[in-house]
């Protein structure tokens, strides 16, 4: 095994050197990326940008644009130029991003790609908004609205773009204190978000609408709308966003002199911001609580909170909050007769305020200077481009020569390695022949000893009889699965395909689609069942060869989760992979991946919509113990002992009526045994389940 691995690694290294493949790209790009399909560049460039892998995204975009130019593929080139602008946007090079967005806009118009026209208009509007050019930002937003109003109003992708642009328009109005316009526009955006069940944006829109009501002194409507937003954020488990809403609700209660309620909501938001380590949020909440305690005459508590707020503001440089804290504490000290302290706080307020005004002016000057220097640098870069091209060509030639030389060295090493191995094998065979002769002599002596083992073998025969009975029961269960679980789906397939073939013209389109979906589901069930049956059969017939090698436990678990993403995403299940990244152990990859996949799939099956699954590890007696925990329906105590036996006939449907063969956990047990590990479960009805398995440490 070591010899084969060594040769394989040498060939892989040679392949990398000959074809110049980037190690980092090979590691980080998904397995499904295919450079032979040029339009994969569009999808994976978008994925890498959204995941914050900007270097990989830039490499893919540049390669894709070069391909598009070579093949005269205008669609590919234009889309990748858009993502190039996104790359500059995410890396805060806004001038470059603006130039490219404006370059691709007419190209998308010529391609009549409505969605991309809308996205580009929205991106240009956002950039103008960042530059405080509200007039041009609104111009591009409204142009996008007019474009989308002329599209199919039922098409979800167009509705989504309308929700996005209306959200940006509302934010612009809110920042410009045009609160009446917010209230005029918000209802339309809210209805659009409802129509596509976009809970996150719907809650955000309610929050913006509530702020407008608040700024127009319509406190009752503001409170009702804030509560709608908080309810949605709570339903989707977004407690971070909910913290902002509860901060606003606390402010409304403080304004309404309902101080107990104000403290309750300020404290809630403070705890949630602390949980997420969001400093600005919990400092803001501290300031609110200090103000309330001051108002109810608890000056000692208020003073302590103001001082904490001031300390935090100094640490995090929250200057605006620091100004408010100075003002609040100065007022409190003045009311308490501490005039000297109050006067010192006012002096600090004035000094900080003057400093901030000077910094703002200096910031504007630095921004202008930076823009001028950027233009100069771009001119210098253009001059150096021609020189760089010549240097790059020379570097490529040198690299090719190095790779050829390196390849020759590798080939020589492989040749000498193989020669050495053959010579070693010859010597090894001679030694083995000598040992076998010695063994023959030993076997003659062992024949005498074997007579003493006859009685022990009789006992083993009884044990074998019990195992045969167990195997016979397993066989009966196996044929039961074949007879029942395979026959029912095939009956469905035959029946519904018969109806499709003989009554096709009589059926409506909707009925045809239903029959086709039923046939697909039955085929998918049969396929999964056959996979499990094949895997179990191979474990029983020793058809699986145990091939351990060093593996990273975290990586194997992530690959299993990636395969099952569709399953838990469709049920909105939150999966937390808490397996630490530095656990390496010797295991068979296929078996370990099958163990993870079956246990996670089992948790998905019995976890309700919106549930939670977590993967954790611990070290017990030099073994790695993995736990797959869910908050699903749980297992009756009487059924736990039946889980890992094929002859138990225990099969339960999932929370979405999912079916299974009952073989998944049996396969897990067989594979864990191959690793000399153990598998067990802790569960009770209604409280979820914890499936554990142990593997020997590296």
HSE, CB side, 13 Å, CA atoms: give it for residue 667. Answer: 25
Of 245-254, 392-401, 660-669, the one with minimum mean pLDDT is 392-401
Q: What is the mean pLDDT of residues 439-452?
A: 72
Q: Within a 10 A sphere around the Cβ of 608, how many other Cβ atoms?
A: 15
Q: What is the mean pLDDT of residues 307-317?
A: 89
Residue-wise pLDDT tens digits, 540-574 = 655 577 889 999 999 999 998 988 888 888 889 99
Of 28-37, 42-51, 284-293, 411-420, the one with minimum mean pLDDT is 28-37
pLDDT reported for residue 613: 96
Task: Say if residue 49's pLDDT is above 50.
Answer: yes
Task: Say if residue 370's pLDDT is above 60.
Answer: no
Residue-wise pLDDT tens digits, 672-691 = 998 999 999 999 898 899 99
Looking at per-residue confidence, does 291 or 4 come out higher? 291
Task: Say if residue 485's pLDDT is above 60.
Answer: no
Beta strands 574-577 and 612-620, pairing class: parallel
Of 240-249, 257-266, 636-645, 685-694, the one with minimum mean pLDDT is 636-645
Q: What is the mean pLDDT of residues 71-89?
A: 90
Looking at per-residue confidence, does 505 or 337 come out higher? 337
Looking at per-residue confidence, does 391 or 622 come out higher? 622
239 touches 275 (CB < 8 A): yes
Beta strands 679-683 and 689-696, pairing class: antiparallel
DSSP states along 204-253 = HHHHHHHHHHHHTT-HHHHHHHHHHHHHHHHHTT-HHHHHHHHHHHHHHH
Q: Classify residue 429 by burial, with Cβ atoms within 10 Å: 0-12, 13-18, 19+.
A: exposed
Task: Say if residue 477's pLDDT is above 60.
Answer: no
Looking at per-residue confidence, does 100 or 413 come out higher? 100
Residue-wise pLDDT tens digits, 130-141 = 888 889 989 998
Which of the four pLDDT bands, split at 50, 70 and 90, describes residue 470?
Answer: low
Alpha-carbon distances of 338 from 54, 293, 329, 342, 389, rounded to whole Å: 56, 18, 11, 6, 73
Q: Is 650 left (phi over 0), alpha (psi -120 to 50) or beta?
A: beta
Task: Say if residue 374's pLDDT is above 50.
Answer: no
Residue-wise pLDDT tens digits, 606-651 = 999 999 999 999 998 889 999 999 999 998 888 887 787 766 655 6
Task: Say if residue 161's pLDDT is above 90.
Answer: no
pLDDT reported for residue 521: 64
Q: Within a 10 A sphere around the Cβ of 581, how many other Cβ atoms?
A: 10
Structure tokens that stand for 270 in this block: 């403070």
Residue of 3, 578, 269 whose CA lies nearest to 261: 269
560 touches 596 (CB < 8 A): yes
pLDDT reported for residue 18: 38
pLDDT reported for residue 17: 39
Looking at per-residue confidence, does 82 or 420 come out higher? 82
What is the gyration radius of the CA atoms in the chain, in angstroms? 34
Mean pLDDT over the full length of the chain:
79
Task: Say if residue 384's pLDDT is above 50.
Answer: no
Of 9-23, 238-252, 307-321, 335-349, the one with minimum mean pLDDT is 9-23
Q: How far apart are the first and last CA of the chain?
A: 18
pLDDT reported for residue 9: 35
Of 124-138, 420-434, 575-589, the one with minimum mean pLDDT is 420-434
Looking at per-residue confidence, does 227 or 356 come out higher? 227
Task: For the chain, give the percent of residues with pLDDT over 70.
Answer: 76
Residue of 663, 660, 671 whose CA lies nearest to 626: 671
Which of the four pLDDT bands, split at 50, 70 and 90, describes residue 479?
Answer: low
Structure tokens that stand for 460 in this block: 């083993």
Looking at per-residue confidence, does 84 or 317 come out higher? 84
pLDDT reported for residue 44: 85
Highest averaged pLDDT of the listed ranges 472-481, 528-537, 561-570 = 561-570
Report the C-alpha gap between 503 and 512 in whole angstroms: 10
Q: Is 621 left (phi over 0), alpha (psi -120 to 50) or beta?
A: left
Task: Say if residue 499's pLDDT is above 80.
Answer: no
Task: For the chain, give the percent of residues with pLDDT over 90.
Answer: 25
Task: Say if residue 84's pLDDT is above 90.
Answer: yes
Report the C-alpha gap between 168 and 483 in whole angstroms: 59
Residue-wise pLDDT tens digits, 398-412 = 666 666 666 777 777
Which of the four pLDDT bands, split at 50, 70 and 90, describes residue 156?
Answer: confident
The residues, ordered by sequence, that sit 6+ positions from 605 with a Cβ below 8 Å of its Cβ are 654, 655, 658, 660
Task: Say if residue 357's pLDDT is above 90.
Answer: no
Which of the four pLDDT bands, split at 50, 70 and 90, describes residue 3?
Answer: very low
Q: What is the mean pLDDT of residues 236-256?
A: 90
pLDDT reported for residue 360: 52
Residue of 329, 376, 365, 377 whose CA lies nearest to 349: 329
Q: Is 572 left (phi over 0), alpha (psi -120 to 50) or beta?
A: left
């Amino acid at each position: 095994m070591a010899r084969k691995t060594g040769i394989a690694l040498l060939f892989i290294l040679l392949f990398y050197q000959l074809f110049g493949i980037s190690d980092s790209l090979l590691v980080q790009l998904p397995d499904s990326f295919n450079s032979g399909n040029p339009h994969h560049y569009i999808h994976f460039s978008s994925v890498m940008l959204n995941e914050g892998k900007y270097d990989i995204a830039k490499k893919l975009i540049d390669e894709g644009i070069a391909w598009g130019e070579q093949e005269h593929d205008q669609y590919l080139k234009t889309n990748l130029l858009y993502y190039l602008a996104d790359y500059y946007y995410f890396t805060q090079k806004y001038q470059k991003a603006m130039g490219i967005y404006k370059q691709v806009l007419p190209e998308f118009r010529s391609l009549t790609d409505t969605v991309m026209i809308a996205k580009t208009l929205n991106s240009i509007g956002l950039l103008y908004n960042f530059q405080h050019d509200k007039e041009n930002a609104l111009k591009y937003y409204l142009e996008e609205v007019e474009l989308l109003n002329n599209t199919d109003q039922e098409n979800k992708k167009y509705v989504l773009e309308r929700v996005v642009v209306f959200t940006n328009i509302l934010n612009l109005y809110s920042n410009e204190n045009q609160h009446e316009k917010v209230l005029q526009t918000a209802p339309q955006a809210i209805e659009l978000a409802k129509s596509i069940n976009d809970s996150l944006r719907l809650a955000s829109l309610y929050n913006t609408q509530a702020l407008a009501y608040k700024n127009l002194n319509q406190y009752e409507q503001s409170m009702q709308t804030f509560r709608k937003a908080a309810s949605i954020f709570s339903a989707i488990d977004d407690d971070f966003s909910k913290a902002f809403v509860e901060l606003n609700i606390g402010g409304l209660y403080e304004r309404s002199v309902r101080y107990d309620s104000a403290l309750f909501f300020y404290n809630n938001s403070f705890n949630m911001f602390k949980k997420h380590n969001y400093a600005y949020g919990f400092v803001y909440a501290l300031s609110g609580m200090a103000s309330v305690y001051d108002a109810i005459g608890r000056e000692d508590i208020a003073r302590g909170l103001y001082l904490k707020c001031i300390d935090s503001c100094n640490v995090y440089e929250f200057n605006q909050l620091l100004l408010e804290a100075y003002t609040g504490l100065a007022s409190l000290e003045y009311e308490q007769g501490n005039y000297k302290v109050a006067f010192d706080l006012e002096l600090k307020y004035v000094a900080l305020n003057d400093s901030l005004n000077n910094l703002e002016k200096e910031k504007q000057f630095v921004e202008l200077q930076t823009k001028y220097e950027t233009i100069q640098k771009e001119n210098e870069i253009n001059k150096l481009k021609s020189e760089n091209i010549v240097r790059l060509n020379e570097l490529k030639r040198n690299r090719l020569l190095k790779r050829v030389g390196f390849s020759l060295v590798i080939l020589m090493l492989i040749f000498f390695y193989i020669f050495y191995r053959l010579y070693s094998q010859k010597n090894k065979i001679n030694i083995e022949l000598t040992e076998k002769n010695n063994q023959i002599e030993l076997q003659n002596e062992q024949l005498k000893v074997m007579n003493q083992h006859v009685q022990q073998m009789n006992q083993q025969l009884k044990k074998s009889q019990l195992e045969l009975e167990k195997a016979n029961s397993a066989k009966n269960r196996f044929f039961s699965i074949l007879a029942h679980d395979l026959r029912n789906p095939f009956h469905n397939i035959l029946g519904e395909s018969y109806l499709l073939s003989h009554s096709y013209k009589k059926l409506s389109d909707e009925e045809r689609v239903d029959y086709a979906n039923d046939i697909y589901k039955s085929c998918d069930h049969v396929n999964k069942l056959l996979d499990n049956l094949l895997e179990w059969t191979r474990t029983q017939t020793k058809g699986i060869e145990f091939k351990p090698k060093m593996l990273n436990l975290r990586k194997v678990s992530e690959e299993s989760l990636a395969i099952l993403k569709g399953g838990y995403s469709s049920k909105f299940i939150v999966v937390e992979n808490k397996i630490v990244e530095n656990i390496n152990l010797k295991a068979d990859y296929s078996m370990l991946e099958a163990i993870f996949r079956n246990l996670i799939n089992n948790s998905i099956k019995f976890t309700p919509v919106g549930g939670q699954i977590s993967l954790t590890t611990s070290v017990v007696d030099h073994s790695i113990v993995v736990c797959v925990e869910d908050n699903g329906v749980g297992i009756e105590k009487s059924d736990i002992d039946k889980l890992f036996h094929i002859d138990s006939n225990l099969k339960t449907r999932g929370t979405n009526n999912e079916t299974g063969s009952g073989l998944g956990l049996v396969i897990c047990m067989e594979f864990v045994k191959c690793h000399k590990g153990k598998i067990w479960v802790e569960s009770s009805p209604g409280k979820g389940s914890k499936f554990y398995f142990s593997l020997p440490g590296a």
